[in-house]
Amino acid sequence: MDAGADTEKMGGDRIVVVIDGSANTEMAVWLGRDLSRISNVPWEAILPVTRSVETSRDDGRGAEALTLAVRLGASVSHVPAATTADAIAGHISGYSRPHVVLALSPRSLVERMRAPSLAQSLVLRRPDLVVHMVAGDGAPRNRRAAESPQSAIAYVVAALAAWAMLALVFLLERATGTSYFSLLFLFPVITVAARAGFWPALFAAFVSAAGFNVLFLAPVTAFDPLAAQTWLMFAALAGIALYTSWLTGTLRDRLLLSDRSAQESAALASFAQHLTRVADWGATAQVVARDIGSLMHVHALVAREIDGRLSVIASHPCEVELDPLDHTALDWVRERGEPAGSGTGRISEASWQFHPLATSLGTLAILGLAREDGRDPVSPERRVLLATAIAQAALAHERLRLEDIARDQADASQIAGTHG
């Protein structure tokens, strides 16, 4: 289970548990907590984000593991990067002696041919890194679409592309009398590898090599399985297919990650801009409920204390009625300044999850979030995004309170001057 040094001699300054979609991810969380207790160092759980897909891609295992880590006292964050190794390496770059806990998953032959394992990649980048591993149940559920079983259509397209190139090369040889067109078979293999992945491209390479054997090697129209030229051609095309599928997959991940980051950044920038356009409590609350609800894809409300009583002053997308348990969670947030409600460790039976809009002037309002299906409205890997939005909303409310204080002071000064 432990691939690193003895825990008694650990002495590291940080333990990082890496969350993936395998069944034993929660075991990695427990191991990280135990190592933290033994070595008396902080620990955290991170979710590498390499594609713009939701948590449902791993049947909720990653979200459950992050939630468990929060309950066990770990700090939690999601780390965007092109690859999982890039995410982990970038995250631990500021730590002097990090220990990384991974859920080890079996790798296919093609995966082992493509690149070293995640643990090997990390150790190559950080020779001082200590890696602890627990056995996984197989590859994570959130692997890229190019590595999932390909549809029959992809193989049909691969075969058609190879046959079309065979026909073109056959006609060119007959028309020109030369036989130097073998490089043209790279085009269907590269195209299929870029669009459909490695296995359809490997099939295109096999069809091309077999067709070349039948049509261009003597005796023509007869297949010679022992022809060395055929196997050399197949090996070259297979290598091109492997490299092209890996390269395009990496570039596709970078593009999807860039799109996701750009969308979230644009949404946060738009939210901040909307907040600057409103100058009263009601309009600000409506903007907060609408924009955060849309950003997180949940129902949202904003409650504020008016005349000594908490009241819902804005909601999205429709009006809401809170039950007594929700009101209890609201009161908890107002009194303690801590999140409460659904998906938290306090009054978790409530239907809504409430977050204080805390400022230097105190809790000025409370944000509520809920899902129609009753699940945790905020998946763990999106909590950093929510925290950023809450910080902007809190600053907007603090600005309103400071304006009210300044206005009251100005009115008091004016009244005092009038009486003077």
**Domain at 7-143, CATH from 3.90.1570.10, 3.40.50.300, 3.40.50.620, 3.40.50.720:** 3.40.50.620
Cis? peptide before 219, omega within 30° of 0: yes
Q: What is the DSSP letter of 8?
A: G
pLDDT tens digits, 315-340: 998 888 898 999 999 999 999 999 99
- Find the radius of gyration of the CA atoms of the chain: 29
The pLDDT assigned to 107 comes to: 67
Q: Is the pLDDT of residue 404 over 70?
A: yes
- Reading the block at residue 350, the tokens are 């409530």
Q: What sections of 56-151 are H helices per DSSP?
A: 61-71, 84-91, 109-114, 118-125
Share above pLDDT 90 across residues of the chain, in percent, rounded to a whole number: 31
Q: Is the pLDDT of residue 31 over 80?
A: yes
The pLDDT assigned to 112 comes to: 67
The pLDDT assigned to 148 comes to: 43
- What DSSP string describes 227-285? -HHHHHHHHHHHHHHHHHHHHHHHHHHHHHHHHHHHHHHHHHHHHHHHHHT--SHHHHH
Q: Is the pLDDT of residue 402 over 80?
A: yes
**Domain at 278-408, CATH from 1.10.10.350, 3.20.10.10, 3.30.70.80, 3.30.450.40:** 3.30.450.40
The pLDDT assigned to 55 comes to: 39
- Equal fold, 7-143 vs 278-408: no
The pLDDT assigned to 259 comes to: 66
Q: Show me where the domains of the chain are located.
A: 7-143, 155-249, 278-408
The pLDDT assigned to 145 comes to: 43
pLDDT tens digits, 231-247: 999 999 999 999 998 88
pLDDT tens digits, 82-92: 778 888 888 88
For the segment 97-103, the average pLDDT, to the nearest whole number, is: 88
Q: Nearest 5°: phi and psi at 363?
A: -85, 110
Separation of alpha carbons 270 and 272, rounded Å: 5
The pLDDT assigned to 140 comes to: 43
How many CB atoms are closer than 10 A to CB 164? Answer: 12
For the segment 194-207, the average pLDDT, to the nearest whole number, is: 91
The pLDDT assigned to 150 comes to: 46
Q: Which of 164-168, 230-234, 411-415 has the lowest mean pLDDT?
A: 411-415
Q: Which of 15-19, 91-95, 180-184, 323-327 has the lowest mean pLDDT?
A: 91-95
Q: Is the pLDDT of residue 51 over 70?
A: no
Helix (H, G, I), strand (E, B) or coil at 349: coil
The pLDDT assigned to 39 comes to: 85
pLDDT tens digits, 296-312: 889 999 999 988 889 99
Q: What sections of 126-197 are H helices per DSSP?
A: 152-176, 186-196
| The overall pTM is greater than 0.85 | no
The pLDDT assigned to 383 comes to: 80
pLDDT tens digits, 368-394: 999 887 778 887 767 888 988 999 999
Helix (H, G, I), strand (E, B) or coil at 420: coil
For the segment 25-31, the average pLDDT, to the nearest whole number, is: 88
For the segment 335-350, the average pLDDT, to the nearest whole number, is: 88
